[in-house]
Structure 1
Amino acid sequence: MQTETILYIIIAGIIALSLALFQYLYKSKQKGSLYKVLAFLRFLTLFLILLLLINPKFESVSFYNEKPNLVIAVDNTQSISYLNQAENTSKIIEYLAVNDSLKERFNVEIYAFGKNLRTLDSLNFSEKQSNLSNVFKQLSEIYNTSISPTVIITDGNQTYGADYQLTSSSYKQPIYPVILGDTITYSDLKIEQLNVNRYAYLKNRFPVEVIAVYSGNEAVNTELKISQGTTVVHSERLRFDNSNTSRVVTITLPANSVGVNSFRAELTALENERNTANNIKNFAVEVIDQKTHVAIISDVLHPDLGALKKSIESNEQRSVSLLTPAEFMNNSTAFQMAILYQPNSSFRLVFEELDRLNMNRFLVVGTITDWQFLNSIQSYYQQEETGQTEEFQPELNLNFSGFIIDDLDFSEFPPLQTEFGKTQINVPVQIILNKTINGIQINEPLLAIIETNTKKEAFLNGEGIWRWRSQHFLNTKSFDAFDNVIGKLVQYLSSNQTRSRLSLNYESFYNGNDDVTLKAQYFNKNFEFDSNASLTIRITNDETKSSREFPFVLKNNNYQVDLSSLEPGDYEFTVSVTNENMSRSGKLKILDYNVEQQFLNADVTKLNALATQTNGNAYFINHTSQLVKNLVLDNRYVTVQKSTKNIVPLIDWKYLLILIAMSLTCEWFIRKYNGLI
């Protein structure tokens, strides 16, 4: 407590005592004990009130001991059971969880991981992918400032995400890998990787690249066969030895039938080969009989043009041509839709041609748009002309019902630049993104679609969308989700089909380790999204004819169902709305491929390097007791005594108010009883 505060308290005591003595002893001329009691009560009341006005602050210091954390993360993927380590892994977790010396020295925290990290409740070794890089990323967020040595119980084989040896460099804790699996090297053939485009076009040929790898010392011969159903469409002999351990085989296959075409690549197994699951890889190609050609029309150069082209062409079903207005007029019938970028008076013939062809369009406007021309050439929207620019940020309209849009955290994207002034919309529109300034929505569309009986049109009121694509990559290390949003907009504009009240979003085929998620939207008769509907999907296996039914779950502005539990195969499904005579049907394929069964050994080299670079040690599973001993004896992990200092103002002490009330009450009753009132 400061000296100044103590001085104020002393002065308050003197003032309170003086006033009490003046009223009850000096002024009344009475010297009895009754007046002394009343004087004391008055002094107490006045002093406490003055004390509250001064409001001194008191410090309290408490000490406590903080033990270091021992973080244990265990691999819960199918590769553990495939390497016959499930029982050993369960035993080591049980041993570490109940070990008294560890519990005395550490706060033991146990997690399980596959594709994501979670607190351990049970082990079933059923997860389909392992992402060790994500483990270190999430743990670094939790244990960034504490002492937390980390035990990783795994075979070291990662199937998803960035290289964990690089990611772990940002994790500031010693890592102790416990190595699961066989370390003996066996002769093994493996299809390390198979590269193929997802789409192909009818009557064309598509490339397939197969990377075959051999582990062993002897020279061996095998045959690579690619078959479609029971028909072998390609085969060739391959030879490997200890100096020639890999081959890259590139072939082209014909696309003769529309739809999903399934293939099987297989290396003939060696005699006594232990793991033959990695000799086979199934793949599929969706053959389509048409391609969407998109024209981006502009007479200026801008980074937006490249960003739009990249996003649209990320789907191989679409191609983009960058054209001037004159070039488009020379070949307008070759395109299914047009993007008009910052139109000016040179676009007059383009607008007339689009109207003649009844072609859907996507207008992107910005700081160099000729609004006088654009206001005169169309009547859907009118922009106030001010000659000044403004920056607007996007905000997703969760009630948008045109198609399913994923929230990419649009509100954190950089602003777009456009004309300052009011934008007047003269027709009904569906707003995808609203304009905001400094987080305040101004009830004007930034991105919207217009649908009439004859055509569809999209309108983006801002330039700089290339920054959005770049920002999304910085946030997620991928362009995919952003490109998917642009792709859905292009898909919507490429078709003149009327909207259905029940729309579905799914892939034609999924790889065996993919998350099989189907999304749906359901709208009422006014085409407003209905969040109270009940949707179900009945899915039937084409081969076994067995059917299962799953409910959809509402998530944001769409319904979702997870079908990842389905076995590989071909399926037909029907999505229906409860109590409504409405349904949609489709087909999908799940390929038979288990990436967790591709490994024969633990990755000992990588796990040892991981331990070395983080100042930890690697142990095999039968040396777990030595791990415990070393952790307990390591002087880096000691209990630390810490203190906390709390500063509490007197006004927060509620009992002081009670004491003032009691003092006043007692004084009043005593005076009343003795007839002094």
Structure 2
Amino acid sequence: MQIQQIILIIGAGVLALLIALFQYLYKAKSRSRRNLFFAFLRFLSVFSLLLLLIDPTFTQNTYINEKPTLLVAVDNSSSLKHLKQDQILQKMVQELKDNTSLNERFDIDYYAFSDALKDSLSLDFTGKQTNIYNTIDELNQIYKSNIAPVVLLTDGNQTYGKEYQFKTTKHTQQVFPVILGDTTIVEDLKIEQLNVNRYVYLKNKFPVELILSYSGDNTITTSLEILSGTRKIYNTTVSFSKEENSKVIKVTLPTIQPGVFEYKARLVPLDQEKNTINNTKNFAVEVIDQKTNVLLVSRISHPDLGALKKSIESNERRSVTIVKPSDIRKLDEYQLIVIYQPDATFRKLYEELKTVKKNVLTITGTKTNWNFLNQIQAKYTQAITGQTENYTPRFNANYSAFLLEDIGFDKYPPLLGNFGDIRINVAHDILLYRSISGIETNFPLLCSLEDNGIREAVLLGENIWRWRANDFLLTNNFESFDNFLGKLVQYLASNKKKSRLTTYAEPFYYGNTNIKIKAAYFTKNYEFDRRASVSIRIENKNTNSVKEIPMLLRKNAYQVDVSDLPAGSYTYSVHVAGENLSRSGNFTVLEYNVEQQFLNADVTKLKQLATNTGGKSYYIHQKNQLLDDLIHDDRYQIIQKKEEKVISLIDWKYLVLIIVGSLAIEWFMRKYNGLI
């Protein structure tokens, strides 16, 4: 309280006393005890009112003991169950919860993790992947301003993610790994990795690369087999020793007919081998009986040509041939014609296209002769101004020709095209709109046309190579752009009739990947319908079990995630409620559980992690030592904090009660004694 407020309070007291004495003693005819009581009440009410006007403030100090936070991150992946550590782990978690000394010293937060971090402890040990790096990184982000050591209960076996043992650059918390699992090195054969292309071509041989490993001290010999069903199609003898403990085997297998084919690579187990699951790897390939040949016709040299060729050929099922208009021979050999910046030299090509009726992708730019293009075809026309403009893409989420997601087109650099209105005279669907200097327009930048069964797409701007380069700058790869262009090429290279219901599913999925099936439903005007009720029926061919699941709307597609499906062959059918529409297909889930490939705990990495973060590693039987070290570690002290709170007297409700009470009693007593 300030000195000025103290002086005002003293003055208020003197003034209230003078008023009370003047009214009840100085002017009174007698000085009875009753008058003294009235004077006291008047003094109390006046003084209280004056205090409200002064409104003095007081400082209140509160002392709080703040405990450090202890984070307990528990591995919930299936490798713990496979290594028979799940019950041991649950018992230790319960002991941590019940330890009185630990709970008095720390505020304990519990987390479970496998492929992602969860702030709960519903442990079922069914996680298909483990990302320890991500777990440590997220905990560091959440508690970066706190003292929060991490007790990491895990076997240390990470299936994907960055190397977690080197996580020290920005990590401020100490990590105390508790190592679960067998640390004894025993003999074990393992197929570390199998590399094979998803798609191969009919009547071609396809390569399979296998990386094999052996842990043990003896010299052993075993067999590597590759089976198709029950038929053995490859067999070789492999030898390992303590010094020569890994080998790379390359095999080429033939293709006989188109379709999806499953194979099994197997290392014959040793007599005393404990874990034989990691001796086997299933894989599959889809044999394609036809390759998509794309003809790219251009009179000029431009970086776009190289970008288009590399992007299209990123899918091995496609090949691109670049020619000049004068060098064109047979169009029948190609499924798609790409016309780049046409001018009068393309006349013969356009005349031949009217005969062979091939689908076309047309790309225009500053070298395009629009006088010629407006005359040679009537599907679309461009106003000729002789000026150019930069056009920024804007994605149309209602595009209905095929399933496509926005890959961040608004972050792509503009394309350079001819300025002027464009008129499209046939049925069309706009995929990308033009934006000019930040102003959105309804004019197309990229659109697809369909007329008399012939499909065409028109891109009204050059420098598409910048889009592919920008994709690499944003994501460190070309995948998003190549997938976008690949879907456009796939749509144009196909002559299938447009359907109101389309579905998309891979022919096969590995057991450790996300299994997502998509569908798109359109109105009779072929506009994407977001109001539909779409469901999918999935049947397991092996067990005849059936699942019916509603498909959820995700952007411009209906989608369902069925990653929990066990290995097997499946058929599916997608239905729209209230419509006589359905689409069917099939897919295969290959058996593979990466969590069951481990035989031992990864002691080396966990010890490195502890050392690099300033913590310490423990084995499961050392849990008492862990608890004792945490409780007596001087780095984790209970901190006493002082909380200073300024309180205003006007907030003190009892003062109002005193004023009201003293005035009421004074009035009642005066009334009772006939003084009013």
* Alignment TM-score > 0.5, same fold: yes
Q: 1:225, 1:236 within 8 Å by CA — same for their partners in 2? A: yes
Cα shift readout 1:430-461 (whole Å, capped 9, x = no counterpart): 12223335654222223221222231122233
Unpaired segments of 5 or more residues in structure 1? 1-5, 7-43, 49-58, 660-677
CA distance in structure 2 between the partners assigned to 1:459 and 1:630 by the alignment: 69
* Other-structure match for 2:182: 182
Which residue does the alignment assign to 1:36? none
| Pair 1:391–1:446, CA change in 2 (3 A) | closer
1:433 aligns with 2:435: no
- The 8 Å contact of residues 159 and 595 in structure 2, kept in 1 or not, is answered as yes
Change (3 A) 1:68 1:584: same
Structure 1 Cα separation of the partners of residues 542 and 144 of structure 2? 52
Asked if structure 2 preserves the Cα contact closer than 8 Å seen for 1:264 and 1:283, the reply is yes
Distance 1:445 1:90, change over 3 A: farther
Report the Cα distance in structure 2 between the residues aligned to 1:311 and 1:645, rounded to whole angstroms.
65
CA distance in 1, matches of 2:627, 2:402: 56
CA-based RMSD of the aligned residues comes to 3.9
Q: Does residue 310 of structure 1 match 2:331?
A: no
SS of the residue 1:590 aligns to: strand
Displacement of 1:467 in angstroms is 4.0
CA contact (8 A) 2:416 2:463 kept: no
Contact 1:575 1:583 (C-alpha < 8 Å) held by counterparts: yes
Q: Which residue in 2 is equivalent to 1:523?
A: 522
**CA-to-partner distance for each residue in 1:530-578, whole Å, 9 max, x for gaps?**
2222222222222222322222122222111122222211112222222
CA deviations 1:298-352 (Å, max 9, x no partner) are: 344444434333332232221223333334x134332211223344444443333
Deviations 1:33-90 (A, max 9, x none): xxxxxxxxxxx9xxx9xxxxxxxxxx99999776544333222111110001111222
Structure 1 residues 521 and 627, CA gap change in structure 2 (3 angstroms):
same
- What is the SS of the residue equivalent to 1:153? strand
TM-aligned CA deviation for residue 475 of structure 1: 4.5
Cα gap change, 1:104/1:584 in structure 2, threshold over 3 Å: closer, same or farther?
same
Corresponding residue for residue 553 of structure 2: 554
Distance 1:460 1:365 in 2: 6
2 CA distance for matches of 1:494 and 1:544? 38
Provide the rounded CA distance (Å) in 1 between the counterparts of 2:182 and 2:341.
63
Distance of aligned partners of 1:96 and 1:186 in 2 relative to their CA distance in 1, 3 Å threshold: same
- Once the two structures are overlaid, the 10-residue window that deviates more, 159-168 or 85-94, is 159-168
Q: 1:259 Cα deviation (Å)?
A: 0.5
Which has the greater radius of gyration? 2
Corresponding residue of 1:23: none
CA deviations 1:188-217 (Å, max 9, x no partner) are 111111111111111111111111111111
Tell me the equivalent position of 2:234: 234
Structure 2: which amino acid aligns with 1:492?
Y
TM-score (norm 2): 0.81
Letter in structure 1 aligned against 2:219 = A
Q: Structure 1 residues 555-564 or 169-178, which shifts more?
A: 169-178
Whether 1:153 aligns to 2:153 is yes
1:330 alignment partner, SS class: coil
Name 1:221's counterpart in structure 2.
Answer: 221
**Matching residue within 409, 414, 417 for 2:415:** 417
Q: How many residues align?
A: 614
2:297–2:337 CA contact under 8 A, matched in 1: yes
Contact 1:367 1:417 in 2 (8 A): no
> How does 1:102-181 map onto structure 2 within 5 Å?
102-166=102-166, 169-181=169-181
SS in 2 for 1:308: helix
Contact conserved, 1:386 with 1:419, CA < 8 A, in 2?
A: no
Closer/same/farther in 2, CA of residues 280 and 442 from structure 1, 3 Å limit: same
**Distance in 1 between residues matched to 2:579 and 2:274, nearest whole Å:** 54
**Distance in 2 (alpha carbons) for counterparts of 1:570 and 1:546:** 11
For residues 118 and 66 of structure 1, the distance between their equivalents in structure 2, rounded to whole angstroms, comes to: 25
**1:388-403 superposed matches below 5 A:** 388-392=388-392, 394-403=393-402
Shift of 1:423: 3.6
In structure 2, what residue type is equivalent to 1:325?
A: P
Q: Secondary structure of 2:151's match?
A: strand
Shift of 1:466: 3.8
* 1:367 CA drift (Å): 4.8
Secondary structure at the aligned position of 1:93 is classed as: helix
* Contact residue 414 and residue 468 of structure 1 kept, 8 A: yes
Q: Quick one: structure 1 residues 145 and 367, their matched pair in 2 at CA, closer, same or farther if it must change by over 3 Å?
A: farther
Q: 1:373 to 1:149 in 2, by over 3 A?
A: farther
Q: CA deviation at 1:524?
A: 1.8
1:611-650 matches, within 5 Å, as 611-638=610-637
Q: In 1, distance between residues paired with 2:402 and 2:108?
A: 47
- The farther-off stretch of 103-112 and 115-124 is 103-112
Listed as ranges, the matches of 1:193-342 within 5 Å are: 193-327=193-327, 329-342=328-341
CA distance, structure 1, for counterparts of residue 599 and residue 469 of structure 2: 40
Deviations 1:349-408 (A, max 9, x none): 33333333222222333455444544444441415535343251x332221111111232
Amino acid at match of 2:190: K
**Residue aligning to 1:458:** 457
Q: Distance in 1 between matches of 2:278 and 2:500?
A: 45
The alignment status of 1:407 with 2:403, answered yes or no, reads no
Larger mean Cα displacement after TM superposition, 346-355 or 108-117? 346-355
> Are positions 1:579 and 2:591 aligned together?
no
Corresponding residue for residue 25 of structure 2 = none
Matched AA of 2:209: E
Distance 1:644 1:479 in 2: 55
User: Aligned partners of 1:644 and 1:369: how far apart in 2?
Assistant: 74
Contact 1:416–1:463, Cα closer than 8 Å, also in 2: no
1:340-489 equivalence runs, <5 A: 340-378=339-377, 379-383=379-383, 385-392=385-392, 394-411=393-410, 413-419=411-417, 421-427=419-425, 428-437=427-436, 440-489=439-488
Alignment match, 1:82: 82
Q: After TM superposition, give the deviation of residue 518 of structure 1 in Å.
A: 0.6
CA distance in 1, matches of 2:95, 2:457: 62
For residues 472-511 of structure 1, the C-alpha deviation after alignment (integer angstroms, 9 at most, x for no partner) is 4454455434422222111100012111111011100011
Mean CA deviation greater in 229-238 or 534-543: 534-543
Q: How far is 1:257 from its partner?
A: 1.7
TM-score (norm 1): 0.81
1:532 alignment partner in structure 2: 531
- Counterpart AA for 1:418: L
CA–CA separation in structure 1 for the residues paired with 2:624 and 2:303: 60
**Shift, 1:166, TM fit:** 4.7
Gap change, CA 1:111 and 1:430, over 3 Å in 2: farther
CA distance in 2, matches of 1:516, 1:367: 44
Shift of 1:619: 1.8
Partners in 2 of 1:130 and 1:478 — Cα distance?
24
**Structure 2 CA distance for aligned equivalents of residues 436 and 64 of structure 1:** 58
Q: Is the 8 A contact 2:114 2:128 kept in 1?
A: yes
Residue 106 of structure 1 deviates from its aligned partner by 3.9
1:410 Cα offset (Å): 3.0
Change (3 A) 1:61 1:287: farther
Report the CA distance between 1:140 and its aligned residue: 4.1
Q: Distance in 1 between matches of 2:90 and 2:294?
A: 56
Deviates more, 1:453-462 or 1:338-347: 338-347
Which amino acid is the alignment partner of residue 402 of structure 2? Answer: F
Rounded Cα–Cα distance in structure 2 between residues aligned with 1:449 and 1:383: 19
Residue equivalent to 2:94:
94
